[in-house]
Structure 1
Amino acid sequence: MATLLREVIGDVLRRARIDQGRTLREVSDAARVSLGYLSEVERGRKEASSELLSAICGALDIPLSRVLADAGDEMAQEELREFAREGAANIDETTKVVIPHEVSMAVA
């Protein structure tokens, strides 16, 4: 089963909060988000809007771009693992790949 982006973003946010030694309540108060909703976002159960993500990142004092980049990196790693598990097994070993020679084009 494919990993959902909201789950990965939640993991990134939770790690950042825990690395800072902060509680859900501290971050939810600072972000002005309910504790229950923040918990749902961290567990990947709720899809946070860009405004909400921005507020949470502000409360954690981390750039939203870093959260998104970290989430993208994790998604890419998961996709590679998934491909290695499933995709590679579906490749027919008799399939040949032809790589054409480089063609130079002259412009007159």
Structure 2
Amino acid sequence: MIRHLVLFKLDEGVERDDPRVERGVEAFRALGDQIPELRFWELGWNISDRAIAQDFAINSAVDDRDALGRYLEHPAHQAGVALWREFATWVVVDYEY
């Protein structure tokens, strides 16, 4: 299995209630039901106020590297990524477990 972790940081001046952010969250929330390669799918807003904290996270899992590639290239995933590019940056970690 491969764990796919993504941590998002909203751009300066962008708040959670920004309509663009709300559309982005909903697009990613729906991926769990749209992409068959996903074996595990959760996401949520950070609750910590630490200065080093990120704002939003996705925690997911797929069977193998081929499944990860199919997930990353899936049109629904690509559409969600395009939304998030408008208001955030992110870091990714993919590891086998």
TM over 0.5: no
> Relative CO higher for 1 or 2, CA cutoff 8 Å, sep ≥ 6?
2
Radius of gyration: which is bigger?
1
Structure number having the greater helix percentage: 1
Give the TM-score of the pair, scaled to structure 1: 0.28
Structure number having the greater strand percentage: 2
Give the TM-score of the pair, scaled to structure 2: 0.30
